[in-house]
Copies of this chain bind each other. A is one copy, B any other.
């Protein structure tokens, strides 16, 4: 973490004195219906555009955090496996924890469990940093609000800002240089019929990480120029769709938004194509279902997997076309 992030956090936190020996955090993964792609500030994870998501209540991260005086380095345990200090995941977590360390020689034990595959475009970093920030809050008892905590989570991973909440959340891109107005908040709307279907094409680690992918897009993709404005408009349209419970508007806007984000990657040089042949086959199946009158849409993150959007009355038809699809009811 850079000096900028340190300076911000030092001013933002009321103190750095642990109130407890132990902190717990639990947070869901979230699926962006209008995506985050592009940073206006790299170190603070400030986005070029707002985004809007739905959390998946049963998938996410559980983290237990403690300060242990006998440690000489942070100890990161991922899915019951202790990682070496030079493991990329452990290093990233340690760098983030540097922002909160009471003293340079205070070390944390972080015991974290993901119920989703790590690094496969299923947003494990979102739930991971959200859970870690909740555990930090329990440990330090700062009494920060959820939107305030989402600012801290954002500095670990942009999309983590949205994982502080169940249901729909909107991450406002903010305007300020220090990011103090770039936080997420929940949208107070339920949609009991809404279903998310996870179509897993490939759960191996992705070749190009999101941050590197975003940077390359911003630097080399001419078509990206129009993305921030489109994304801002898509957020508003989806927000309206949620208020009206207009599923067609929600689905069309979400699919168009995801395809547009992937389009910016495809038009990047060297190209970033997260799609696999099986991703394209699954998209074609979705379009065939729609042609046949079954209203189903998809969204995709920086990976090859599809997340289907449909309403419960179409679940049987969706499962017929996608027998291995994991259906989640967010509400």
Contacts and interface: CB of A to CB of B under 8 A. Distances in A.
B277 A280 contact: yes
Interface size class of A (residues with CB under 8 A): 20 to 34
Contact of A262 (B221, B225, B266): B266
A259 B252 contact: no
A283 B275 CA distance: 11
Contacts of A224: 223, 226
A78 interface: no
A279 to B, nearest CB: 8
A264 B223 contact: yes
A225 B221 CA distance: 12
A281 B278 CA distance: 10
Contacts of A278: 277
Nearest to A278: B277
A99 to B, nearest CB: 36
A269 B256 contact: yes
A277 B280 CA distance: 6
Contacts of A209: none
Contact of A226 (B223, B260, B275, B281): B223
A143 interface: no
A276 interface: yes
Interface in A269-292: 269, 271, 273, 275-281, 283-284
B263 A266 contact: yes
Nearest to A277: B277
B263 A267 contact: yes
A305 B273 CA distance: 17
Interface in A57-71: none
A269 B252 contact: yes
A224 to B, nearest CB: 8
A19 B266 CA distance: 52
Nearest to A226: B222
Contacts of A280: 273, 275-277, 279-280
Interface in A238-273: 252, 255-256, 259-260, 262-264, 266-267, 269, 271, 273
Nearest to A253: B269
Contacts of A281: 277
A227 interface: yes
A225 to B, nearest CB: 5
The CB with the most chain B CB atoms within 10 A, among A256, A260, A267, A280, is that of: A267
B271 A259 contact: yes
Contacts of A226: 222-226
The CB with the most chain B CB atoms within 10 A, among A222, A275, A281, is that of: A222
A241 to B, nearest CB: 15
Contacts of A221: 260
Contacts of A266: 259-260, 262-263, 266
A115 B119 CA distance: 48
Top-6 shortest CB links A-B = A277-B277, A263-B267, A263-B263, A223-B223, A260-B267, A222-B230
10 contacts: A223-B224, A223-B227, A223-B260, A223-B267, A252-B269, A256-B269, A260-B267, A263-B266, A276-B280, A277-B277
